[in-house]
Structure 1
Amino acid sequence: MKPELSSLYDRIIDDMVCGSIPMGDRINISELSKRYQVSNSPIREVLHQLQAEGFVEIAANRGARTIDLSRFEVESINEILGCIEKSLIDWEGIVEVDGIVESLVRINEQLTTVEKNNNYMITKIDHQFHYEMFKHHYNERFIRMWQIQRTTLDIFTSQLDKRKSRVDSMYDEHCLIIEMFSREDHAALIKLISEHHEASQDFIREQFKSLRK
């Protein structure tokens, strides 16, 4: 993707995650052109890319809409994401990356200063923490697969009420993960990642019930 299209892609995705472009909404190309100050053509190109990745649905004579996730779809994405993360963390070289502990600490510390009602920023920090763990994997296609599934989940989870207790738990779980990185304890890291993912799944299921009432 050309740099200008890549930048536009990132801005649209970010607006979907923060809710400026809500789930299930019809997409008006002219309005997006004004918002991002570009012509209709690059908007259409990016929308087709977003369609290919599952973020947007485009139907003949009905235009484009952002995805709207059902409970079944969210749980399916969670399951897929768990399998991908397990495969990524199985690569033993992941614990030997230079500077990864310092980077993870720096990212995780942001959870101690972010406002606890800022669901968007909490979602972004959590995404960044996990991406920092996995981005060094040798298989770039696998990483891209993870990014698509994780971002799809972000679009949904950024709506959730991440109470202080959940943010604190997330921070503590991250600290344990960082400790295993510092020890280069690969077996313990695999176990922790699995437990961290299960805690996230439980939180999403609980929140889904209240969100969809």
Structure 2
Amino acid sequence: MAETSDFKAKPPEGIDPIGASSEGASLYQLIREDIIEGRLAANDRLVVTDLARRHGTSTNPVREALQLLRGEGFVTLVPNRGARVRPIDQDFVRDIYEIGVLIEPALTRWFVNMATVEDIAELERIQGLIEENNFADTFKHSELDTAFHTVMYQKHYNRHAAELWWKHREVLRAVSRRFNFTLARRAAILSEHRELIAHVKAGNANEAAELIARHVEGSGRHILEHMRARNAARAG
């Protein structure tokens, strides 16, 4: 059994979360972090030559990174006007999690009908690690929580849907790093995971799908509430 300190969630098999050269992938991570942390502000221009000079690289890896960031919604690319940082605002988060509310129930329903004894054992194993960590290390929780959901979606025949889920989840994971879990959200996550496992064991596909829709919406609303509170504090 893997130690949580070494645990790293992996994307569903056959899905490349980066899809770029090693240098392009590295720049993608650096620029995305700058956007999330606010070092690159909303609507800032992203000039390829400037970014290449700043990071000591050629322009090709920068273009790769910007295309990846565009695919995730962090960057807008307008012909003849270049790239700009998309505002990481409440509308952005709402759009992402609402897509999850639409597609994850379908993925979950399929999983319940196809789940094996081994799949259920893996869900229980990961849930045990989640409860053992008990949010003490939020990075560990994020990795374990992602692994929990990946068990359900990694075998789905629709690889486009699985890839969309992974991409959007990674975006929300990145944004949510700014905020702490409330006690109410912590309790809801643990309870809903356990209830979900029970539905999988019982073969309750529709009930599991309804639960996952509430689970995803709860996660999205949790982020939005933190964003509203932060914006209100700044305005005050």
Q: TM tier, shorter chain?
A: 0.7 to 0.9
Match of 2:173 in 1: 154
- What CA distance in whole angstroms lies between the structure 2 residues aligned with 1:22 and 1:120? 16
| 1:82 alignment partner AA | V
Q: Secondary structure of 1:57's match?
A: strand
Structure 1 segment 40-189 matched on structure 2, within 5 A: 41-58=60-77, 65=85, 67-91=86-110, 94-97=113-116, 99-114=118-133, 116=135, 118-189=137-208
Task: Say if 1:109 and 1:13 are closer, same or farther in 2 by CA, change over 3 A.
Answer: farther
Q: Highest CA radius of gyration, 1 or 2?
A: 2
In structure 2, relative to structure 1, the CA distance for the partners of 1:93 and 1:111 (3 Å cut) is: closer
Aligned position for 1:5 = 21
- CA separation of 1:152 and 1:175: change in aligned 2, threshold 3 A: same
Q: State the shift of 1:63 in Å.
A: 5.3
Q: In structure 1, what is the Cα distance between the partners aligned to 2:58 and 2:140?
A: 29
Q: Report SS of the residue matched to 1:68.
A: coil
Paired letter, 2:72: E
Contact kept, 8 Å, 1:137 with 1:143, in 2: the verdict is: yes
1:194 aligned residue: 213
1:204 partnered with 2:223: yes
| Per-residue CA distance 1:67-96 (angstroms, 9 max, x = gap) | 432212222222111001122223266542
Amino acid at match of 1:186: A
Q: Is the 8 A contact 1:23 1:68 kept in 2?
A: no
- In 1, the alpha carbon distance for the partners of 2:122 and 2:26 equals 22
Aligned residue identity for 1:198? E
Determine the structure 1 residue equivalent to 2:9. Answer: none
Distance 1:108 1:10, change over 3 A: farther
Higher relative contact order (CA 8 A, sep 6+): 2
Q: Which amino acid aligns with 1:29?
A: L
Aligned-partner SS, 1:73: helix
Letter aligned with residue 97 of structure 2: N
Unaligned stretches of 5+ residues in structure 1: none
| Structure 2 gap segments, 5+ residues each | 1-15
Equivalent of 1:22, from 37, 45, 53? 37
Distance 2:215 2:173 in 1: 16
Residue range with higher mean Cα deviation, 91-100 or 125-134:
91-100
**For residue 101 of structure 2, what is the amino acid of its counterpart?**
G
* Aligned counterparts of 2:35 and 2:136: Cα–Cα separation in 1: 17
RMSD: 3.5
User: CA distance change for structure 1 residues 197 and 87 in 2, over 3 Å: closer, same or farther?
Assistant: same
Count of matched residue pairs: 208
In the TM superposition, residue 31 of structure 1 has moved relative to its aligned partner by 7.6
CA distance in 1, matches of 2:210, 2:124: 20
CA gap 1:32/1:134 in 2 versus in 1, 3 angstroms: farther
Identity in percent:
21
